Amino acid sequence: MVASLPSSTLTPRAPFDARPILRYYGRSPLEPLDIVVDGGWRRAVRLGEQKVLFEAAAGGTADEPSVSVRLLAVEPPPPTPPPCAGEGSKPLALAADAVSRWWRLDQDPADLGEIADRDPILGALLARLHGARSPLMPSPFECLVWAILGQQITVAFAYKMKRALVERYGESITHEGRPYWLFPEAARLAEADPLELRELQFSRQKSDYVRSLAALVAEDRIDWGELAEMPSEAAIKVLTRLRGVGRWTAEYVLMRGLGHQDVIPAADVGLQSAIGRAYGLGRKATEPEVRALAEQWVPRRSHAAFAWWWSLSAERGLSVPPP
């Protein structure tokens, strides 16, 4: 094994801190796709014709932060001996570009300062998250399915279903004898057997939603690019016409799958509970209360939502027992 696969270095805008993202990825021991190893993030995705496993890790200094991206595995491997340094590796360039987008390295966290001034309670949380980004999921489709899975049930159970789904319908790529899973292709999920999904503990509803949405995506009937550019409210209207997609799911997909920066899934019970506690209500906040508070967080309501979610996993602490 030669440890000299090519790597690429990205330069986030300062301030940047990768730890909140890594902690978010690592919050469930059942998470099958986002693997945190030694402070790095490993993830397998399809880039063009190839399956690629990469690792992203933060480095540099507070003033000049950096993120390095390196490839750990590519399948099928490049035809000839790997190109000499000059040619560079196309998969590496694609992976680095993707990490930059998913980790929102070009975002300027400084403009959160005004929001912190307007709302000191959120401000205290943002201070703990200095330099944090709210990461995107690698594909809107994956995000959509994840949102469907998360409907109504506990996050822990949603992870269980996700893992089962990925290991049943996903492909994998091997590195050092261990498989790294890719999220299943839409075409594969579209043809999944409902009985099989039922075995994976999907309700009949969820099975129907996932299969029919996967079929739409496989047929390229959802224009993600257009949805990403559209005003949020318009995009929500489009998405909620799809069976299985209510307002909460649409909002989740907009913020975590498409990069809309000013969306608040105010019906989210996790959000309601975090906010109820932080603002001393002695109960969960109601949806209207969350929407009203969130007026102060314009135009970065998505980041605020991520911050509150992060606060939920942070308060549970790192209570995962060692393997």
Closest CB 248 distance from DNA, rounded Å = 4
> What value, to the nearest 5°, has the Cα angle with vertex 138 and ends 96 and 79?
55
Task: Please name which of 67, 63, 64 lies closest in space to residue 54, comparing C-alpha atoms.
Answer: 67
Q: How far apart are CA 205 and CA 203, in angstroms?
A: 5
Q: Which is nearer to DNA, 12 or 150 (CB)?
A: 150
Answer for the pair 140, 249: CB distance below 8 angstroms, yes or no.
Answer: no
Among 153, 216, 230, 238, which residue interacts with DNA (rule: CB under 7 A)?
153
190-219 positions binding DNA, by CB under 7 A: 201-207
From 145, 248, 254, 302, residue interacting with DNA (rule: CB under 7 A): 248
* Binder of DNA out of 15, 82, 123, 246 (CB under 7 A): 246
The Cα-based distances of 189 to 168, 173, 206, 208 in angstroms read 10, 19, 12, 11
Number of H helices and E strands in the chain, helices first, is 15, 7
Considering beta carbons, is residue 53 or 254 the nearer one to DNA?
254
Binding positions for DNA, 298-317, rule CB under 7 A: 309
Task: Give the shortest CB-219-to-DNA separation in angstroms.
Answer: 19
Please count the residues of this chain forming the interface with DNA, following the rule CB under 7 A: 36
**Catalytic residue check, 38:** no
Sign for the pseudo-dihedral over CA of 309, 312, 313, 317 = positive
Measured CA to CA, the distance from residue 220 to residue 248 in angstroms comes to 23
Name which of 40 and 257 has its Cβ closer to DNA: 257
For 184, the enclosing helix (H) or strand (E) is none
**CB within 8 Å of 319: residues ≥ 6 apart:** none
Among 4, 61, 80, 154, binds DNA (CB under 7 A): 154
Among 144, 222, 250, 275, binds DNA (CB under 7 A): 250
247 binds DNA (CB under 7 A): yes
Stretch that binds DNA, among 33-41, 111-119, 149-157, 294-302 (CB under 7 A): 149-157
With contacts defined by CB under 7 A, name the span among 12-20, 32-40, 78-86, 237-245 that binds DNA.
237-245
Q: Which of 150, 170, 184, 257 binds DNA (CB under 7 A)?
A: 150
Q: Which is nearer to DNA, 9 or 201 (CB)?
A: 201
- C-beta closer to DNA: residue 51 or 301: 301
- 284-299 exposure pattern, b = at least 16 Cβ within 10 A, e = fewer: bbebebbeebbebbee
In angstroms, the CA 268 to CA 286 distance is: 10
Nearer to DNA, 171 or 208 (CB): 208
- Cα 154 to Cα 171: distance, rounded to the nearest angstrom: 26
CA angle 208, 253, 304 (to 5 degrees): 140
Calpha distance 249→145 (Å, rounded):
9
Minimum CB–partner distance for residue 11 and DNA (Å) = 29
**Stretch of 66-74, 93-101, 265-273, 289-297 lying at the interface with DNA (CB under 7 A):** 265-273
Binding site for DNA (CB under 7 A): 150-158, 160, 201-207, 240, 242-250, 252, 256, 267-270, 273, 284, 309
Q: Which residues are catalytic?
A: 268
